[in-house]
């Protein structure tokens, strides 16, 4: 595999940012969010409100992806504008900008799939799993069942590490963490109060309107981001590492990332975030140029990138197989420690 510096030189012509286009994307998705939320309040019957609630959650995900780019400073040409746009589009997902910056940009991108550092969807070993309390083992099984990425992200990431995290989850204490936490909490309060006022004005149940106007979109968004992060870095061909030397030798910016492809327009609907190898190789590539960057990488490094056509059958097969990880054999296992992917190190040759 070529050195990362060489690969980034290939991609240099693709990293140009367009502030007008970035602002257009923000304006479009903001209007889409407002319109979908308004429809959730105003349409009838209840099943149609629920449908718009789910769509609102999807739009929250689109806005978040824009903020993800802004937090990488790859969205517009202006650093300060990126920071303010990032905070703005992160509001519907209730994501504190500064905490996401640390957890994602520094930790996840700095140490992708390195155990003890990258905490998102980090798999246990068999010994670690057996040492867990019974209730926690049940929760781990729920998380990795394929049905609960929403619960995993809501509890393990957003609640634990994003919203006013304690010292154990975030040892570093900065004033900006609290300010960003208060910003999204204030937005949530205004959002809920607006729905209660709308319920009174439209003669609807306040509980129902808060459920479809806030709870359902927020839970859907958590499921969306939990799913996306899972499929980006969990795959029978994707390894996890427990020491920096082997991790660094594996060229992790390429080898730990999946390019998930779709037959539909879902990739474009997700602002091309699924062209994820290119993003990990060079975070400065704007999302509106990721498709071109990914194509370049796959043309110049055939066979070195994990490309996975999406299907629900593949997804649930991955969830079935990728339960625990055996670092000695370098393979995924089930909850009994039986290999479910091809061991990269045979017994006796470790």
Tens of pLDDT along the chain (350 residues) come to: 778 888 888 988 888 999 999 999 999 999 999 999 999 999 999 999 999 999 999 999 999 999 999 999 999 999 999 999 999 999 999 999 999 999 999 999 999 999 999 999 999 999 999 999 999 999 999 999 999 999 999 999 999 999 999 988 888 889 999 999 999 999 999 999 999 999 999 999 999 999 999 999 999 999 999 999 999 999 999 999 998 998 988 888 888 999 999 988 999 999 999 999 999 999 999 999 999 999 999 999 998 999 999 999 999 999 999 999 999 999 999 999 999 998 876 544 44
Q: Report phi then psi at 309, rounded to 5.
A: -65, 135
Q: How far is CA 90 from CA 69, 113, 192, 222, 258, in A?
A: 11, 25, 17, 13, 25
DSSP 251-311: -HHHHT-EEEE-SSSHHHHTTTTT-HHHHHH-TTS-GGGHHHHHHHHHHHSTTSSEEEE--
Q: What is the pLDDT of residue 347?
A: 46
Q: What is the pLDDT of residue 348?
A: 42
The answer to whether residues 4 and 251 touch, using CB atoms and an 8 Å cutoff, is: yes
Q: What is the pLDDT of residue 252?
A: 86
- 135 half-sphere exposure, CB direction, 13 A CA radius: 0
> Which residues fall within 8 angstroms of residue 318, CB to CB, at 6 or more apart?
146, 231, 234, 235, 236
The answer to whether residues 113 and 256 touch, using CB atoms and an 8 Å cutoff, is: yes
- List the structure tokens of 230: 């899972």
Q: What is the pLDDT of residue 262?
A: 93
Q: What is the pLDDT of residue 346?
A: 53
Q: What is the pLDDT of residue 350?
A: 44
Identify the H or E element spanning 169.
none
Q: What is the pLDDT of residue 345?
A: 66
Q: Could you identify the residue written with the tokens 């300060």?
A: 80
Q: What is the pLDDT of residue 328?
A: 92
């Amino acid at each position: 595999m070529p050195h990362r510096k060489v690969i980034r030189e290939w991609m240099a012509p693709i990293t140009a940012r367009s502030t007008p286009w970035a602002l257009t994307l923000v304006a479009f998705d903001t209007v889409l969010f407002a319109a979908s939320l308004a429809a959730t309040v105003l349409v009838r019957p209840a099943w149609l409100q629920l449908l718009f609630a789910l769509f609102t959650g999807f739009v929250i995900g689109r806005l978040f992806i824009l903020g993800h780019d802004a937090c990488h400073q790859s969205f517009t040409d202006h650093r300060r504008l990126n920071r303010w746009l990032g905070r703005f589009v992160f509001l519907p997902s209730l994501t504190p900008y500064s905490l996401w910056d640390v957890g994602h940009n520094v930790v996840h991108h700095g140490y992708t799939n390195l155990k003890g550092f990258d905490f998102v969807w980090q798999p246990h070993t068999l010994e670690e799993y057996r040492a867990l309390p019974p209730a926690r083992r049940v929760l781990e099984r729920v998380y990795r069942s394929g049905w609960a990425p929403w619960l995993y992200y809501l509890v393990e990431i957003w609640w634990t590490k994003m919203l006013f995290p304690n010292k154990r989850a975030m040892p570093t204490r900065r004033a900006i963490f609290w300010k960003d936490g208060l910003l999204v909490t204030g937005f949530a309060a205004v959002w809920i109060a607006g729905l209660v006022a709308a319920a009174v004005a439209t003669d609807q149940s306040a509980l129902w309107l808060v459920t479809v106007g806030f709870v359902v979109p927020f839970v859907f968004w958590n499921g969306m981001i939990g799913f996306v992060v899972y499929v980006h870095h969990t795959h029978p061909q994707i390894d996890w590492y427990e020491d920096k030397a082997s991790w660094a030798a594996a060229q992790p910016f390429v080898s730990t990332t999946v390019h998930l492809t779709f037959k539909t327009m879902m990739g474009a609907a997700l602002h091309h975030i699924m062209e994820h190898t290119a993003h990990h190789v060079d975070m400065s590539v704007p999302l509106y140029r990721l498709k071109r960057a990914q194509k370049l990488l796959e043309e110049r490094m055939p066979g070195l990138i994990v490309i996975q056509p999406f299907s629900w059958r593949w997804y649930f097969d991955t969830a079935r197989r990728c339960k625990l990880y055996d670092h000695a054999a370098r393979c995924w296992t089930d909850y009994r420690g039986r290999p479910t992917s091809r061991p990269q190190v045979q017994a006796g040759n470790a």
